[in-house]
Amino acid sequence: MEKVIGIRFKTAGKIYDFNCGAYVLNVGDHVIVETENGLCLGTVAVAPISKEKKPENEPLKKVYRPATADDMRQIEKNKDFESRAYTYCKECIEELDLAMNLFNIESNFDTSKLTFYFTADGRVDFRKLVKMLVKEFRTKIEMRQVGIRNQAKMCGGIGRCGRELCCSAFMTKFDPVSIKMAKRQGLSLNPTKISGVCGRLMCCLTFEDAMYRKVNEPVQNNDHTEEEEEEAESTSE
């Protein structure tokens, strides 16, 4: 048996399982864990539960230690470091005249790696940019191109409903959205009225789509039956 907790690294991000070992942790506690990207600060999202360890499964990584006041101060220093890296990277992008939109930078806990998030219409040759960043910061650099929906999720904002964006507040994944969902719900098909801040169809169209499908099914069946009866009557005449 092992004590397993769920750790979340970002707001509305995916939850990962870790072995909490002998530590007594509660939901909301900050912890330092070791990941593929090095040490990272995470938040306990799922309380510890006992699970039987299966031989075929890979062993879970253990919680390194609960976060301390010094760790939280280090996070604040990391934010300053990320801000400086963002400013410098923007200057380099302008100097190299690259067609890319840099919008976020993340560093791991010990600043041994910097991840630069950007959007672009196509592929970008950023090899020169990476060399400039490595020379300036002397750390591992990763350039990650993401879609416009992921940009909205990471940056956050307020939707047309006046509330925080669903993707940045609680959604952990993006479900497919289609214009048919808006039609089933009787909404205006004007793109400006059913699109989110990212310019894509609003994710909330999927929330009640199953209910509208269920409600509209009998109506569609009745309409189909009436059409068949009209065809039958016209044929008999």
- Domain endpoint, select from 67, 90, 120: 67
- Domain holding 33, by residue range, is 2-67
Question: What DSSP string runs through 16-68?
Answer: EEEE-TT----TT-EEEEEETTEEEEEEEEEEEEEEPPPTTSPPPPBEEEE--
The predicted-structure confidence for 50-73, as pLDDT tens digits, reads as follows 877 766 677 788 899 999 999 999
Q: Are residues 57 and 79 in the same domain?
A: no
- Domain endpoint, select from 67, 83, 99: 67
In a domain, 98, yes or no: yes
The predicted-structure confidence for 160-174, as pLDDT tens digits, reads as follows 889 999 998 888 889
Q: Are residues 124 and 89 in the same domain?
A: yes
Q: Are residues 203 and 234 in the same domain?
A: yes
In a domain, 156, yes or no: no
Which has the higher per-residue pLDDT, 14 or 56? 14
Q: Are residues 15 and 45 in the same domain?
A: yes
Q: How many domains does the chain have?
A: 3
In a domain, 182, yes or no: yes
CATH of the domain at 94: 3.30.300.20
What average pLDDT does range 32-50 have in this prediction? 87
In a domain, 102, yes or no: yes
Q: Are residues 62 and 103 in the same domain?
A: no
In a domain, 159, yes or no: no
The predicted-structure confidence for 99-116, as pLDDT tens digits, reads as follows 999 999 999 888 889 999
Q: Are residues 116 and 98 in the same domain?
A: yes
In a domain, 107, yes or no: yes
Query: Which run of H or of E encompasses 162?
Result: none
- Domain endpoint, select from 113, 146, 179: 146
The predicted-structure confidence for 17-37, as pLDDT tens digits, reads as follows 998 888 889 999 999 998 887
pTM of the model: 0.78
What pLDDT was estimated at residue 226? 43
Q: Are residues 132 and 173 in the same domain?
A: no
Cα→Cα distances 58→6, 38, 54, Å = 16, 19, 8
What pLDDT was estimated at residue 55? 64
Q: What is the mean pLDDT of the chain?
A: 86
In a domain, 62, yes or no: yes
* Structure-token pair, residue 155: 């940056």
In a domain, 161, yes or no: no
